[in-house]
Structure 1
Amino acid sequence: MRDGNDLSLEPRRRVVTDDQPGDPTVVDTVVVTVSDVVAACEARDRNRRTAVLRITPPFSGRMRARLHMADVDATYEEPAPVHVHPRTFLTDVPPYPGSGPEAWRSLVASSLRAEATLETDRGETTVRVVGLGAGE
């Protein structure tokens, strides 16, 4: 499995046209901060909050996924953002706190996948995952 933090790898390129700003399947790379992934997992496991990583339109080849509480904004205009369960970006990680909060957070931070399959309203799409801040 390739390291999700390796920026030297050539990303897949999907052609994006002006008439596709609402098509999330044009996304080929998702950039996410490791701290957002850790916080979203912890919020879901600990507080039972609906924390997701949200990708907001208009969509293009490289997008950011940011921490969002999905139960806060329940209605969206079209095109709707893509809400991604934080564990979609991870290899197998036990529920919080696992072997203790700090060890668990470290495990989550080191478990970012190189690729993930996202569920969208236009079907599944596989994206490259780039993690920011993994060394912090």
Structure 2
Amino acid sequence: MASDGERSRSDGDDETRSDASGGSSDPRTIRSLAVTTGDVLAALEANERRGRDAVLRVTPPFAGRMRARLHVSGGEGAYDGEVTPLHVEPEAFVAEDLPYPTVDETEDELRASETAYTPERHRARHAEAVERWRAAVRGALADTVTVSFDGGTHDVDVRYLG
């Protein structure tokens, strides 16, 4: 983990503005994001199962420690502030590619086994596969993520809640 002196910081140029709360318009101010593991899992599942554009949203003004929350991109309408929120793809929080188990894959595995196929067994087997996937994701959460914004990218540490 890099020390604060090694982190990318705003150089105080005219593009960086602070508000009365001490927040900044510059996302490079962020050193760490707090996010619930449940929000990361929910976003990943929503994107896989429902084709949603779920992201983890960080809302300005920006500060050293920020919270990323589950959000469906495009559902926010107009944003009133001068600086738009950051949208971080949920995959950025996972250090390795872990494909979500599909219902069809689960059915194929069940039919290939010696266990007789029934819809009840299929549901139970798929629920088990999803739980194994969730456990694998929890075990592969990244320590840092890269956030993208109009001025470039910035690496931040991640703290997981729950």
TM-score (norm 1): 0.81
- CA deviation map 1:105-135 (0-9, x unaligned): 11112211111111112210000011111xx
**Contact between 1:51 and 1:67, CA under 8 Å: does it hold in 2?**
yes
The 5 Å alignment of 1:90-105 reads 90-97=94-101, 100-105=129-134
Aligned CA-pair RMSD: 2.3
* Partner amino acid, structure 2, of 1:43: A
CA distance, structure 2, for counterparts of residue 11 and residue 129 of structure 1? 14
TM-score (norm 2): 0.69
Task: From the superposition, tell whether residues 48 and 128 of structure 1 become closer, same or farther in structure 2 (CA, over 3 Å).
Answer: same
Q: What SS does structure 2 have at the residue aligned with 1:59?
A: coil
Tell me, yes or no, if structure 1 residue 37 matches structure 2 residue 40.
yes
**Contact between 1:93 and 1:111, CA under 8 Å: does it hold in 2?**
no
- CA deviation map 1:62-120 (0-9, x unaligned): 00000000131143232100000001111113221278111111111221111111111
Structure 1 segments of 4 or more deviating over 3 A?
A: 13-18
- Please state which structure has a larger fraction of its residues in strand: 1
Tell me, yes or no, if structure 1 residue 88 matches structure 2 residue 102.
no
Gaps of 5+ in 2: 19-23, 107-128
Gaps of 5+ in 1: 3-9
* Partner amino acid, structure 1, of 2:143: A
Tell me, yes or no, if structure 1 residue 12 matches structure 2 residue 30.
no
* Partner amino acid, structure 1, of 2:4: R
